[in-house]
């Protein structure tokens, strides 16, 4: 099955081609330089940039795969949500138009599920599995009893882990997106576990809340007057050790919180064979190390996508689309975009032309 994947949920415009079990080619255009001027993603600008870039990226991918007019494409997979509504609509409108012009089915993919299925790029996921999705907009834990089955165990109640990283980095005047730079500085610092308490652990659930930690760090930074220093050039040698120690403390606090909630989720599941860590924050070196050690200590297989597939990308969308298509499913042409904060419905329909 040859699938063209399209991803436009936030600030990456990406297109990929998946062919019978392997990735043929993929392109990702990041909008980070544009949005870094504002210290965060501007939805209207993101949508306009997707509109400007998408057709050219699709043409480039098809030409590199020697399918300039889309010959032989069996399926179009596109991110349905969650994400920025305007950005999603650009990709979905394009995918539906291409689906009609080529006469092939289209499938709207849950962006969060696709992140976790990208762990299959490393090694095959052994089920039952536990999926921990950590990104700028979401921090979710899923029980994954079988392929394409996701049972939500815990979710973000306010600020996601990645959002907390980025907002704390902004308090320190670090470049955007800040989570990456906190990770870099944390490797050069020493964490103080007494400085901040791990947030939202005085309960028995698997949900997350990082707004309290963000506030505590903001108060600490204001007291220390760190925000008056300009680190825009990000020269590690010029950054004081106390900033590096603060980054190490923030990193440790967030990672340990994620790990504690994961322990609770494991206790709620049976016969977990694989621990899957995915999402943009899964690129964090300390997070990967701690989760890998935890999984191995429990006798689980640990999987996380390669660094370049932790963030938003169309390869994972194409792959996820193929998994549902192999079950004989597709989306109707009236499926809608689902913004962040809304549940993406599993309203697939049976593909009448599907043949096993």
For residue 272, the Cα-to-chain-centroid distance in whole angstroms is: 22
Q: Is 74 annotated as a binding residue?
A: no
> Which residues on neighbouring strands pair with residue 79, listed in sequence order?
109
**Cβ atoms 321, 111 nearer than 8 A:** no
Q: Is 197 annotated as a binding residue?
A: no
| CA within 13 Å, CB half, 107 | 29
Q: Is 57 annotated as a binding residue?
A: no
Please give the Cα distance from 41 to 31 (Å, whole number).
Answer: 9
Q: Is 133 annotated as a binding residue?
A: yes
Q: Is 134 annotated as a binding residue?
A: yes
Q: Is 312 annotated as a binding residue?
A: yes
Q: Is residue 275 helix, strand or coil? A: strand
Q: Is 346 annotated as a binding residue?
A: no
Please give the Cα distance from 155 to 158 (Å, whole number).
Answer: 9
Q: Is 245 annotated as a binding residue?
A: no
**Residues 214-238, buried b or exposed e (16+ Cβ, 10 A)?**
bebbeebbeeeebeeeebeeeeeee
Concatenating the DSSP letter of every residue in 190-216 gives ---TTTSPPTT-SSSS--B--HHHHHH
Q: Is 111 annotated as a binding residue?
A: yes
Q: Is 235 annotated as a binding residue?
A: no
Distances (CA, A) of 34 to 172, 234, 254: 20, 18, 28
Q: Is 136 annotated as a binding residue?
A: yes
Q: How many helices (H) and strands (E) does the chain have?
A: 10, 12
**Cβ atoms 154, 138 nearer than 8 A:** no
Distances (CA, A) of 294 to 100, 130, 250, 263, 303: 47, 13, 20, 9, 12
Of 11, 175, 172, whose CA–CA distance to 79 is shortest? 11
Angle at 159 between CA 153 and CA 162, to 5 degrees: 90
**Cβ atoms 176, 232 nearer than 8 A:** no
Q: Is 99 annotated as a binding residue?
A: no
Q: Which residues are annotated as a binding site for substrate?
A: 133-137, 166, 179, 183, 284
Q: Which residues are annotated as a binding site?
A: 111, 115, 133-137, 166, 179, 183, 284, 312
Q: Which residues are annotated as a binding site for Fe cation?
A: 111, 115, 312
């Amino acid at each position: 099955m040859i699938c063209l994947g399209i991803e436009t949920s936030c600030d990456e415009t990406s297109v990929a081609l998946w062919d019978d079990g392997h990735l043929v080619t993929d392109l990702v255009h990041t909008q980070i330089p544009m949005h870094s001027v504002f210290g965060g993603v501007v939805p209207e600008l993101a949508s306009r940039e997707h509109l400007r870039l998408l057709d050219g990226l699709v043409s480039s991918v098809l030409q590199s795969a020697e399918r300039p007019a889309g010959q032989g494409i069996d399926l179009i997979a596109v991110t349905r949500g969650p994400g920025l509504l305007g950005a999603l609509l650009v990709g979905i409108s394009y995918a539906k138009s291409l689906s009609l012009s080529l006469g092939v089915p289209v499938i709207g993919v849950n962006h969060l599920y696709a992140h976790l299925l990208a762990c299959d790029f490393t090694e095959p996921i052994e089920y039952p599995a536990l999926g921990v999705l950590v990104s700028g907009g979401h921090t979710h834990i899923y029980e994954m009893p079988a392929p394409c089955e996701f049972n939500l165990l815990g979710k973000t109640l306010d600020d996601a882990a990645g959002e907390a990283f980025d907002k704390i980095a902004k308090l320190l005047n670090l470049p955007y997106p800040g989570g990456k730079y906190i990770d870099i500085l944390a490797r050069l610092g020493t964490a103080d576990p007494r400085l901040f308490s791990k947030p939202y652990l005085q309960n028995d659930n698997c949900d997350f809340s990082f707004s309290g930690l963000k506030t505590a760090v903001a108060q600490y930074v204001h007291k220390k007057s760190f925000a008056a220093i300009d680190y825009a050039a990000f020269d590690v040698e010029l950054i004081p050790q106390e900033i590096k120690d603060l980054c190490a403390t923030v990193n440790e606090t967030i990672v340990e919180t994620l790990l504690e909630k994961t322990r609770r989720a494991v206790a709620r599941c049976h016969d977990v064979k694989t621990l899957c860590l995915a999402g943009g924050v899964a690129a964090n070196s300390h997070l990967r190390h701690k989760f890998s050690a935890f999984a191995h200590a429990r006798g689980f297989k640990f999987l996380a996508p390669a660094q370049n597939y932790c963030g938003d990308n169309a390869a994972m969308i194409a792959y996820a689309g193929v998994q549902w298509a192999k079950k004989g499913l597709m989306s109707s042409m009236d499926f809608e975009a689902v913004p962040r904060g809304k549940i993406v419905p599993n309203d697939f329909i049976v593909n009448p032309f599907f043949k096993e």
